[in-house]
Amino acid sequence: MLSRDQSVVTIQRELTAFARRARAAAARMHPELSLVSFTLLSHLEDQQGCRATDLAAYYMLDKSTISRQIAALEKLGFIERISDPDDHRIQLLQLTPAGTAKLAEAAELRRQAFHERLADWAPQDLDRFAEYLLRYNSLAEGGS
């Protein structure tokens, strides 16, 4: 077994390597939907809609970046803005049917790719890997 420090270094290195390739890999899988767009749509689906500021906070992006991404996605017809009647500063962002469909299509491509890559894994290993990632990311949510 690796020492604690070796394990941490390995985890760090491998997660970084993955992150480094994720953008290009996502772009190859579905050229029309960048990694950012894809994750934003996913988030909207999971959350059943949310505000632009929430997206910015969650993904550590500037609100201006989100604003432009949102504008592009709206122009494509994938999301719509619903003004909050109580507070006109707030826009609730939601997926349109077209956006839901597009997201499902991209997600299916990704799902297939992941399934292929993980085809050889034992179910127990998959389960544990998923659990570890969840645990890691839940810790990361608060800060760095």
Could you give the C-alpha distances from 40 to 33, 45, 49, 56, 61, in angstroms and in order?
10, 9, 10, 10, 11
Residue 65 binds which entry of DNA, its own copies, none, CB below 5-8 Å type-dependent: DNA
User: 12 or 83: whose CB is closer to its own copies?
Assistant: 12
User: 19 or 119: whose CB is closer to DNA?
Assistant: 19
Return d(Cα 50, Cα 91) in angstroms, integer.
8
Neighbouring C-alpha atoms within 13 Å toward the C-beta of 98: 8
Binding mask of the shown chain, residues 44 to 83, with x at each position contacting DNA by CB under 7 A: -------xxx------xxxxxx-xxxxxx--------x--
* Three-state DSSP state, 92: strand
Residue 144 binds which entry of DNA, its own copies, none, CB below 5-8 Å type-dependent: its own copies
Kindly list the residues in this chain that would bind DNA in the complex (CB under 7 A). Answer: 23-24, 34, 36-37, 51-53, 60-65, 67-72, 81, 86-91
